[in-house]
Chain A
Amino acid sequence: MLLPSVINASPSATCETMLLRSSPSSSAFRYAARRISAVRMAATSTASEEKGASSVEKEQRNQLPSNPPPLQVAKRLEKFKTTIFTQMSMLAIKHGAINLGQGFPNFDGPEFVKEAAIQAIKEGKNQYARGYGVPELNSAIAARFKKDTGLEVDPEKEVTVTSGCTEAIAATMLGLINPGDEVIIFAPFYDSYEATLSMAGAKIKSITLHPPDFAVPVDELKSAITKDTRAIMINTPHNPTGKMFSREELELIASLCIENDVLVFTDEVYDKLAFEAEHICMASLPGMYERTVTMNSIGKTFSLTGWKIGWAIAPPHLTWGFRQAHSFLTFATSTPMQWAASVALKAPDTYFEELKRDYLMKKEILVEGLKAAGFIVYPSSGTYFVVVDHTPFGYENDVAFCEYLIREVGVVAIPTSVFYLDPEEGKNLVRFTFCKDEDTLRAAVKRMKERLHKR
Chain B
Amino acid sequence: MERKLSKASRSLTSSAIQELSHLAQRCGAINLAEGFPDFPAPPHIKRAAVAAINADLNQYRHVQGICDQLAVMMKQNHGLDVNALTDFVICCGQSEAFAATILATIDQGDEVLLFDPAYETYESCIILAGGIPVNVPLEPPHWTLNVDKFMKSFTSRTKAVVLNSPHNPTGKVFSKEELEAIAAACCQMDCLAITDEVYEYITFDLQKHISLASLPKMQERTIITSSLSKTFSVTGWRIGWACAPTTIASAIKNIHVRITDSAPSPFQEAALAALQSPPGYFKSLKAEYEARRDFVIQMLSDVGFQISFKPQGSAFVFAELPKNWLVSDIEFVKVLIEKAGVAAVPGCGFFHGDIDDQNLRTRYVRFAFCKGSDTLNAAARKLQDIVGSTGHLQL
Contacts and interface: CB of A to CB of B under 8 A. Distances in A.
B83 interface: no
A357 interface: no
Interface stretch (A104-112, A268-276, A400-408): A104-112
Contacts of B225: none
Interface string A392-428: 0000000000000000000000000000000000000
Interface stretch (B126-134, B211-219, B305-313): B126-134
A391 interface: no
A127 B354 CA distance: 34
A354 to B, nearest CB: 19
A14 B164 CA distance: 15
Nearest to B189: A68
A208 interface: no
B187 to A, nearest CB: 10
Interface stretch (B64-72, B73-81, B147-155): B147-155
Contact of B237 (A75, A106, A304, A335): A335
B304 interface: no
B58 A306 contact: yes
Given A39-B127, A73-B247, A166 B46 contact: no
8 A-B pairs with least C-beta separation: A12-B35, A335-B236, A306-B265, A14-B120, A10-B34, A108-B56, A65-B156, A5-B21
B210 interface: no
A7 B345 CA distance: 11
Contact of B354 (A23, A48, A73): A48
Nearest to B33: A6
A162 to B, nearest CB: 8
Contacts of A48: 135, 352-354
Contacts of A248: none
Given A126-B235, A334-B267, A60 B92 contact: no
A61 B345 CA distance: 33
Interface stretch (A191-199, A311-319, A374-382): A191-199
A71 B2 contact: no
Contact of B258 (A7, A57, A195): A195
B296 to A, nearest CB: 15
Given A65-B155, A330-B260, A13 B236 contact: no
24 contacts: A1-B351, A5-B18, A6-B21, A8-B34, A10-B33, A10-B235, A12-B35, A12-B36, A12-B119, A20-B13, A20-B14, A43-B124, A48-B354, A65-B189, A77-B104, A108-B59, A114-B54, A126-B236, A174-B128, A192-B258, A195-B258, A307-B266, A329-B99, A331-B95
B169 interface: yes
A44 B53 contact: no
Contacts of B35: 10-13
A21 B18 contact: yes
B265 A42 contact: no
Interface stretch (B3-11, B173-181, B379-387): B3-11
B254 interface: yes
Nearest to A114: B53
Interface residues of A, number: 100
Interface string A27-38: 001000001111
Contacts of A348: none
Nearest to A62: B152
Given A65-B155, A74-B106, 7 more contacts: A13-B35, A14-B120, A29-B2, A71-B190, A163-B92, A308-B238, A334-B92
A83 B352 CA distance: 39
A172 B60 CA distance: 22
A49 interface: yes
A15 B352 CA distance: 15
Contacts of B153: 49, 61
A330 B96 contact: yes
B37 to A, nearest CB: 7
Nearest to B190: A68
Contact of A4 (B17, B36, B247, B259): B17
| From B121, B135, B152, B236, residue with most partner A Cβ within 10 Å | B236
Interface in B168-201: 168-169, 188-192
Given A81-B254, A330-B95, A121 B49 contact: yes
Nearest to B111: A49
Contacts of B345: 4, 6, 12-13, 15
B255 interface: yes
A240 to B, nearest CB: 17
A7 B99 CA distance: 24
B273 interface: no
Given A7-B31, A49-B353, A306-B61, A14 B129 contact: no
A122 B59 contact: no
Interface in A264-322: 303-308
Contacts of A68: 156, 188-191
Contacts of A307: 58, 264-266
B195 to A, nearest CB: 16
A20 B93 CA distance: 24
B257 interface: yes
Contacts of B188: 64, 68
B338 interface: no
B312 to A, nearest CB: 17
Given A330-B95, A332-B238, A44 B104 contact: no
Contacts of B61: 306
